[in-house]
Amino acid sequence: MKHVFMVSLVAGVLIVTGCKPSSVPSETPSLSAQPALSIAVMPKLIGIDFFEATKRGAEEAAKELRVNLLYDGPTTNDVQQQVQMIETWIASKKYDAIAVAPNDPDAIAPILTEARKVGIKTVAWDADARPDARDWFVNQCTAESVARTLMDVMAEAVGPNARYLIITGSLTAWNQNTWMAEMEKYRQAKYPGMTNLTKDPLATEEDQELATQVTTDCLKRYAELQGIFAITSVALPGAAEAVRSAQAADRVFLTGLSTPNMMKGYVKEGVVKKFVLWNAVDLGYLAVHTAVACIKGDLKPGAASFSAGRLGEVRIRGDEVILGDPIVFDASNIDRFDF
């Protein structure tokens, strides 16, 4: 038995090592003979509306540009799974560019650096990676434009003297904090008459039920309250639920950032009249266009814009490609979107 074991072990090793010289050279010519570019696109996670919409955009762009597209990502928002998948993609030597929406900017950096070492172009989209690890970042919209759009929506509905408060996700979330800082800056410049009723934003930890509770409390506590911003996709429907059950939609104007599918019911009922987000389909579309332009060398740092299919000329700032201003959703346009 011992001998059988050893023999099979040795034989196994011989078989596998013996395969190597014959298979490796035969692969190289077939790869170089293949003209079509291949792009791998990875969302933060698969199976949620937002990233299904970006997938449709990515597929549309891939068809238009005649490139092979792989759209796959982890089943939870786990950066470690993302790193392992990218490792495999690098190993397969099939892809000319990898576009990833990283769950953590720093943890994704080493593997992206390795991808660049073997000549794969790297693009971050939806959220940035550490800038030295990627070639380009496809930014859905700048923090200023998100802040400006939100404040304008509020001013238009309530007037330039609105008394409002902000409901956020977690107090450590980088992008929400940036938006709030920009909102305050814009308020001081454009709407000095507006008042933020709470010094600190109210945290709801990406928990819809908690957002409902917090909003219910606020509606009771602040009699003078006129407007609420709920600036995460989970906080807005949570807050909307509170406004609906308190029947406060006439007294308090609720807006914020969320996806059309989550908000459709509330918009139809008139609980939320307007809210803001970028177009997820266009984001996926632009990510693929950016990756292809990056491989072909059409995208140069320092350029002011580049042409991205049906989106026309897209603005470039430094090494960021900017999708544009966010969309304001209301009852008139919400049915046109599915994400």
Nearer to another protein, 118 or 304 (CB): 118
Shortest reach from residue 113's CB to another protein, in Å: 10
Q: Within its chain, how far is the Cα of 180 from the centroid? A: 18
Smallest distance, another protein to C-beta of residue 20, A? 7
Shortest Å, Cβ 8 to another protein: 7
What is the nearest approach in angstroms of another protein to the Cβ of residue 162?
32
* Shorter beta-carbon distance to another protein: residue 33 or 303: 33
Question: Smallest distance from the beta carbon of 97 to another protein, in angstroms?
Answer: 16
Q: Report the residue number, 67 or 151, with the smaller CB distance to another protein.
A: 67
Task: Report CA dihedral (172, 176, 181, 187) to the nearest 10 degrees.
Answer: -150
Bridge partners of 136, per DSSP, are: 123
Nearer to another protein, 19 or 189 (CB): 19
Which DSSP category does 201 fall into? P
Maximum Cα interatomic distance, the chain, rounded to a whole number of Å: 88
Report how far residue 71's alpha carbon sits from residue 52's, in angstroms, rounded to the nearest whole number: 10
**Which residues contact another protein by CB under 8 A?**
1-2, 4-5, 8-9, 12, 15-16, 19-20, 23-24, 27, 46-47, 70, 72-76, 78-81, 83-85, 87-94, 104, 106-107, 109-110, 170, 172
CB closer to another protein out of 106 and 209: 106
Contact 208, 142 (CB under 8 A): no
DSSP strand pairing (313-317 vs 320-322): antiparallel
**Three-state SS sequence of 267-292:** HHHCCCCCEEECCHHHHHHHHHHHHH
